[in-house]
Amino acid sequence: MKSRRHRHKESFSVLLISNTGQRTRHFHVKRSFFRLVTALVLCVAVSFGWLMYHYVTEPGSAGVYVSAGAGTQETELVAQAAAQQEELAAKDAQIQQMESEIDSLNRRNSELTTENKALLAAARTTSDTGGAADMADTAEDSDSPAYPSRYPYSETGEVTQKYTDSHPYVSINTHGQGNILAAGDGEVVSVTSDDSYPLMIEIDHGNGYRTRYMLPQEAETRLAEGAQVGRGDVLVELGDANVQLDYQVIRQDQPIDPLIVFEAKG
């Protein structure tokens, strides 16, 4: 017969005794179970210690996050404050530059105003001097019968269009059956016509003045070039009312407003 070897197994007995003496329990626990439990407890303790170590010391851990976050916010606030200060400084510089430009413009405006006043004063002086000379010449000329101060129509006439640079004469609409008259003594230098005026008469008054009588309607005259006329002489007899007469006064080869000549005579 083969001999059998008996394995020796160690175990622990746990006896639970009730204080009342009614129940008693007896447990057998092997040593390997105690070793396993001890190993598990050690693993849990080591894991807990490792977690606590990293929780406290590492920057990325929750324990340090609040401090790191607070530092980041403070840095951002400082940067924002610095940026705002720089922006305010830039705006102050712009305001100062604009104020300087405004002062410069005000000075320039004042200088231009002064220059303008000086120019206006000089223009008034020149105008007054020239105007006085013109008035003296006009007063001297108006005493002569050759001065064309006579109204060029014997009856009532209405000025329908006044003198302008683009319309260098006055347009008179006649009323009643009157005559076109010479405005002053002079010589008939032309009796002509064109597409706009069937009859045009020009008189040279010999004192730098010439007058033109332009009729856009068909009309006849007995005058010829070279004829001498006096102030108030009939140039054209009008048999119909409501005839248009374009009347022009020329002084020193420049057209002037005929109403000035009439007003100068009074």
Q: What CATH number is associated with residue 166?
A: 2.70.70.10
Q: Are 198 and 215 in contact (CB under 8 A)?
A: yes
What are 8-17's pLDDT values in tens digits?
A: 556 556 555 6
Side-chain half-sphere exposure of 213, counting CA atoms within 13 A: 29
Q: Determine the average pLDDT of the residues in 247-262.
A: 92
**Mean pLDDT score across all residues of the chain:** 79
Q: Is residue 85 part of a domain?
A: no
Q: Is residue 239 part of a domain?
A: yes
Q: What separation, in Å, do the N-terminal and C-terminal C-alpha atoms of the chain show?
A: 177
Distances (CA, A) of 20 to 5, 13, 26, 143: 44, 21, 16, 164
By CB atoms closer than 10 A (0-12, 13-18, 19+), residue 113 is exposed
Q: Which of 39, 57, 75 is the last residue of a domain?
A: 57
Q: Is residue 76 part of a domain?
A: no
Q: Is residue 2 part of a domain?
A: no
More confident residue, 153 or 129: 153
Q: Which of 57, 73, 90 is the last residue of a domain?
A: 57
Instruction: Write down the pLDDT at residue 118.
Output: 78
User: Residue 189: helix, strand or coil by DSSP?
Assistant: strand
Q: Are 236 and 198 in contact (CB under 8 A)?
A: no
Return the structure tokens found at 130.
């020239």
More confident residue, 227 or 72: 227
Q: List the one residue out of 234, 236, 232 whose CA is nearest residue 216.
A: 236
Give yes or no for residue 42 having a pLDDT over 90: no
More confident residue, 176 or 137: 176
Instruction: Write down the pLDDT at residue 10.
Output: 60
More confident residue, 239 or 31: 239
Instruction: Write down the pLDDT at residue 62.
Output: 47
Name beta bridge partners: 179. Answer: 237
d(CA 152, CA 250): 14
Give yes or no for residue 28 having a pLDDT over 70: no
pTM exceeds 0.85? no
Q: At 69, give phi and psi (nearest 5°).
A: -65, -40
Identify the domain containing residue 226 by its residue range.
157-265
Q: Determine the average pLDDT of the residues in 159-183.
A: 91
Q: Is residue 68 part of a domain?
A: no
Instruction: Write down the pLDDT at residue 35.
Output: 76
DSSP H helices, the chain, are 31-57, 62-142, 258-265
For residue 216, how many other CB atoms are within 10 A of its CB?
15
Give yes or no for residue 97 having a pLDDT over 50: yes
Q: Report the percentage of the chain scoring pLDDT > 90.
A: 31
Give yes or no for residue 266 having a pLDDT over 50: no
Q: Report the percentage of the chain scoring pLDDT > 70.
A: 72
What are 99-138's pLDDT values in tens digits?
A: 888 888 888 878 877 877 777 777 666 555 554 445 445 5
Instruction: Write down the pLDDT at residue 200.
Output: 96
Q: Which of 20, 42, 57 is the last residue of a domain?
A: 57
Q: Is residue 94 part of a domain?
A: no
What are 59-90's pLDDT values in tens digits?
A: 555 444 444 455 677 788 888 888 888 888 88
Q: DSSP string covering 127-169, please?
A: HHHHHHHHHHHHHHHHTSTTS--S-SBSS-EEEEE---SSS-S
By CB atoms closer than 10 A (0-12, 13-18, 19+), residue 147 is buried
Q: What is the number of domains present in the chain? A: 2
Instruction: Write down the pLDDT at residue 9.
Output: 57
Q: Quickly state the pLDDT bin for 181 (edges 50, 70, 90).
A: very high
